[in-house]
Structure 1
Amino acid sequence: MWCEQGQVDGGSVSEWQQEITELPDYNKISFKEQAPVPLEEVLPDASPQALDLLGRFLLYPPQQRISASQVWNEASRTKELWRQLCLRRWSSCKASQMTLGTQTWKQYYLRRSELEFRMASGRPEDFTCRALAGHKGEIDDLAYISTSEYRFDGQDKSVVCTVSSDGTVRAWDLHEGMELWSSPVQSAALVNLVAYPRLQLVVTVDERGLIKVWEAENGCEKAAFLLPMYSSALEACDIPEGPLLLAACAEGALYTLTVPWLQLLSRVNVFPGNPTSLLCSPDRQWVFASTQNSDLSPEVFYTQSLLCRSEDETPASTTLPIWLTSRACWTPDEAARLMVMHRNDNGMQLVITTYELGSRKSRDRVEVLVRQIASFLLPDTMMPPHLMKGHGSQVILLVSGSELVLFTIHGLQLVAFQDHQRPITSMWVDQTRVITSSFDLSLRVYMWNKENKFPVLKSCYHLLGGSHRWASGFTHVESDSMSIVGVEARNIGTSILRSYYFQVRCG
């Protein structure tokens, strides 16, 4: 019924009727198609894999979308689909290594995908940041004692152990943000540690050379061994014959000890009178021993030959034809591939040489074989790198001052980053990401993209520490599957841990 005033929305009835009787001829109108809104703007929280899958799906005609939706709805209920998705996306996700608990393969896939997305994004809502204080001195080293498994069964924890100049070793739960235990104060400052997550043991050494084994669960001391001088290096070596500890003494000797009881298996004079550095290969079959900036050439030992008990038996080893060695690393994907940074023949330029190692067994001995496969000069304009890591089988990561540079083993520079304002102090590298710590009081997180011939590293985000008023920067960084932890040095001569724990919120 019309209003008595004859008004409809501010106009007369006759005017309104005239408007609706004079309709335009839509056949003569051409509609300009609007540009589609990018999916990442519509779904900002979706992972790149989900956006790619949805983009492909939207290319189908409507009827095919309906059919595909019905088929997918049916397939998504099957256990085998999600198991195959897990195995194809994560090569390490073997059924024999999995601890599913009560969760399904689908739940595992969704939870791990969400966790990886959050660790790649680094938004404030993705993680919980905590400061963990307790040491009364500087933290000299840290290591994860928890396994790096992706569990999502309520039993997963990120636990690290630390040693300090205050003479204690401590364990920390990064999820709860609390100290689990602390050892009694030792007679000397603790300077190094290695962890055995499978055995739930941690091994420490003090500045006088006293090695001790601790139970990671409660901090109980299990065994001790005294070196004749302070230790220059410790390496955990878990091989089929049993877990070993390799300890280099400042006198230049290499000690091989059993774990957990620290029984001496062998002692080898490597570089008499010179502190020795050690580096085990990823498969623990090889041990690289060197002494920095010396005319003495580095040696590579066949690990099994270090198990001999007789002083008369010489372990199988080879000497590399280089000198003035400064840095070295192994490639994760080629366990017997070693990259060494050293000076060239005239001692003027830095060179990185890549070797491949092998062994030939006869009736009573093992011969170590070595083959050079690549070598290149570092640019003269580059400051001598102080950190060196390997990735894949052909990529070298170098840190020089505040710069991170990637090369191939043949010398092709892939990329260089200058994200830090002050020198980089440590670097963590694994299959999915790279993390650097710096005196600028920040951690920088990078993610790998492996779709190209060579892996591409993408700079993602910063994680900030505390206040510059109290802290002088990060000195160490480590990471596992769901957390990142850095050692934050304080201006008063102490250190704290700063942890970033990434949460999975999906059901």
Structure 2
Amino acid sequence: MAIHLPCLPMMKILSYLDAYSLLQAAQVNKDWNELASSDVLWRKLCQKRWLYCDMDTLQLQGKETWKQFFIDRIWQERAKFRAKSVITWKSPEQPASIKLLTTLPEMHIAVTVDIQSTIKLWDCHNREALATNNLKSPCKSLKAVFTKDGPIVLIGDTLGNIHIFRIPDLYLISTVNVLPYGFDGIYCSPQKKWVLLSKKHPHILPKVFYMSSFLRTSEFSAPVSTVLKLSLYERVFWTPRREDRITLMS
């Protein structure tokens, strides 16, 4: 049975929420949507973030509601940030063609793997490789991420092994056989607590692994994992802000 609170207590409760939570509250039902879209709440959020926000500001921006103003302004800020964060980098000519590439923008680092399975870590501020390593088997997938233990590189090969390297020296932390065949997808959860490894094949099910069991092999006798019983899917998403929820689109 639905419980309906009077408008004033509801508005008081909603006034403590941030923008993301207000947008979620607006999806509950029609009444909640009306309250959570109130100009009173969204103007308060605008003034908290940008200090000077009055009716003249709203009219100058050509917006009808403070909610619309807030969302558009946030997107503008993020677009400017992305534009400022772009770094153009070009590696020197390599003896073998580069097959895979991943980056860590926060550290201005790029990682490449060529057709001879040579791994190189690059400083994007110059054209010199900071570290080099090699694998014996061909590589199929590549991912660089930050974890609570530090930045790492994950590489999957054609034999179904995952290799974990430390950044910036490309020291090999561990090598674990996780699937019977090479996998082509590495998907890390938002906080990098979990990693899903998958291959699009009707008879191969994706697996989710506990990241720490790859990084701290002395504490785990074997990788901690679970199998997702869905083989036919097109895309994979970890749900934002939810470390334990994943979506597979079939």
- Residue 126 of structure 2 aligns to a residue in which SS? coil
Q: Which has the higher contact order (CA 8 A, sep 6+)?
A: 1
1:285 aligns with 2:193: yes
- Residue 163 of structure 2 corresponds to 255
C-alpha separation in 1, matches of 2:125 and 2:213: 33
C-alpha separation in 2, matches of 1:312 and 1:82: 48
- Residue 268 of structure 1 corresponds to 176
Q: Displacement of 1:338 after TM fit? A: 0.9
- Residue 449 of structure 1 corresponds to none
CA separation of 1:106 and 1:258: change in aligned 2, threshold 3 A? farther
The residue identity in structure 2 corresponding to 1:157 is: K
- Residue 211 of structure 1 corresponds to 119
- Residue 240 of structure 1 corresponds to 148
CA separation of 1:300 and 1:150: change in aligned 2, threshold 3 A? same
- Normalised TM-score (structure 1): 0.34
- Residue 200 of structure 1 corresponds to 108
1:85 aligns with 2:53: no
The count of corresponding residues between Structure 1 and Structure 2 is 195
1:337 aligns with 2:218: no
Equivalent residues of 2:190, 2:238 under 8 A apart: yes
The residue identity in structure 2 corresponding to 1:335 is: E
Equivalent residues of 1:252, 1:276 under 8 A apart: no
- Residue 191 of structure 1 corresponds to 99
The residue identity in structure 2 corresponding to 1:213 is: L
CA separation of 1:295 and 1:220: change in aligned 2, threshold 3 A? same
1:304 aligns with 2:231: no
- Residue 313 of structure 1 aligns to a residue in which SS? coil
CA separation of 1:83 and 1:190: change in aligned 2, threshold 3 A? farther
Equivalent residues of 2:156, 2:182 under 8 A apart: no
C-alpha separation in 2, matches of 1:186 and 1:150: 34
Equivalent residues of 2:103, 2:109 under 8 A apart: yes
Q: Displacement of 1:298 after TM fit? A: 1.2
Q: Displacement of 1:263 after TM fit? A: 0.9
Deviations 1:190-231 (A, max 9, x none): 132222122221111222322111111123210112122222
C-alpha separation in 2, matches of 1:149 and 1:266: 38
- Residue 211 of structure 1 aligns to a residue in which SS? strand
The residue identity in structure 2 corresponding to 1:85 is: R
- Residue 20 of structure 2 corresponds to none
C-alpha separation in 2, matches of 1:223 and 1:106: 49
- Residue 84 of structure 2 aligns to a residue in which SS? coil
- Residue 359 of structure 1 corresponds to none
Unaligned runs of 5+ in 2: 1-38, 62-68
CA separation of 1:325 and 1:252: change in aligned 2, threshold 3 A? farther
Pick from 231, 239, 242: which aligns with 1:323?
231
C-alpha separation in 2, matches of 1:263 and 1:149: 36
Q: Displacement of 1:237 after TM fit? A: 1.8
Q: Displacement of 1:294 after TM fit? A: 3.7
- Residue 182 of structure 1 aligns to a residue in which SS? coil
C-alpha separation in 2, matches of 1:285 and 1:301: 9
Structure index of larger Rg: 1
Q: Displacement of 1:251 after TM fit? A: 1.5
- Residue 182 of structure 1 corresponds to 90
The residue identity in structure 2 corresponding to 1:84 is: K
The residue identity in structure 1 corresponding to 2:86 is: V
C-alpha separation in 2, matches of 1:286 and 1:212: 25
C-alpha separation in 1, matches of 2:193 and 2:220: 22
- Residue 19 of structure 2 corresponds to none
1:159 aligns with 2:67: no
More helix by share: 2
Pick from 306, 313, 329: which aligns with 2:221?
313
Q: Displacement of 1:106 after TM fit? A: 5.4
Equivalent residues of 2:183, 2:197 under 8 A apart: no
Equivalent residues of 2:196, 2:206 under 8 A apart: yes
C-alpha separation in 2, matches of 1:238 and 1:282: 10
State the superposition RMSD in angstroms.
Answer: 3.6
Once the two structures are superposed, the pairs formed by residues 383-462 of structure 1 within 5 Å of their partners are none
Equivalent residues of 1:202, 1:216 under 8 A apart: yes
Runs of 4+ residues over 4 Å off in structure 1: 80-83, 148-152
- Residue 502 of structure 1 corresponds to none
C-alpha separation in 2, matches of 1:303 and 1:214: 24
